[in-house]
Chains A and B, each alone.
Chain A
């Protein structure tokens, strides 16, 4: 089974500053998908950004961008111009891209605090 590791249980950032959340994964597959999900205090899981492994270009969604390093099996999330509403738990997730890729693997999460 694939494993996803988030080594930072907690992070904090000043409002308007930039923060990077780390994620590494272990796989022998060449094609897969990676995701970052946000879970605010409401507990609702919200997709932040996704990356396809065969695409070399890093995905971006407004203030959110990723640094995808396939050889290093690293998938970090950068949040620019942090806002109070970014405070949440963030989960990194993996899914295989082949026909058997029916399981999702999540990391243990990083709790982000935004300081006013």
Chain B
């Protein structure tokens, strides 16, 4: 089954404790991206990657890191989480550079709470 998986689905942590949210896709997609969703703000892009070893900042990259060492994986790293990073996080993937109108496939989301 074609899918994007994220782990963990739920995470409660404390300020300053490094964490990683994993993202993996099995569709051989070049393009992968991370978003955060907050009430009243919609989805905002954190980072995206057009292929292995190629990553770029989105609109809200502060406090986050990513890496793309393999095509299928795109982990999101919070080196020192803070309460303002409490949010719902989505990973997504799509073909690239194919047609930009190609659909993005989203993971199930990770609910992160930073105390």
Q: Beyond A33-B100, A50-B101, A50-B103, is A43–B43 a contact (Cβ under 8 Å)?
A: no
Is B45 in contact with A107, judged by CB distance below 8 angstroms?
A: no
A8 CB → nearest B CB, Å: 13
Is B45 in contact with A101, judged by CB distance below 8 angstroms?
A: no
A62 within 8 A of B: no
Which of A63-71, A75-83, A92-100 is near enough to bind chain B?
A92-100
A45 within 8 A of B: yes
**Count of A-B residue pairs with CB < 8 Å:** 56
Q: Beyond A43-B88, A108-B42, is A103–B100 a contact (Cβ under 8 Å)?
A: no
Which of B19-27, B62-70, B74-82, B104-112 is near enough to bind chain A?
B104-112
Is B43 in contact with A91, judged by CB distance below 8 angstroms?
A: yes
- Which of A97, A99, A108 contacts B41 (CB under 8 A)? A108
- Which of A1, A44, A99, A107 contacts B59 (CB under 8 A)? A1
* Band of interface residues on B: 20 to 34
* Band of interface residues on A: 20 to 34
Is B40 in contact with A43, judged by CB distance below 8 angstroms?
A: no
Is B97 in contact with A106, judged by CB distance below 8 angstroms?
A: no
Residues of A within 8 A of B100 (CB): 33, 95-97, 101
Is A45 in contact with B90, judged by CB distance below 8 angstroms?
A: yes
Is B48 in contact with A99, judged by CB distance below 8 angstroms?
A: no
- How far is A95 from B100 in the complex, measured between Cα atoms in Å? 7
Residues of B within 8 A of A4 (CB): 42
A66 CB → nearest B CB, Å: 13
B85 within 8 A of A: no
Known: A44-B109, A95-B100, A104-B104. 6 other contacts (CB 8 A): A9-B40, A44-B106, A103-B59, A104-B33, A104-B43, A105-B59
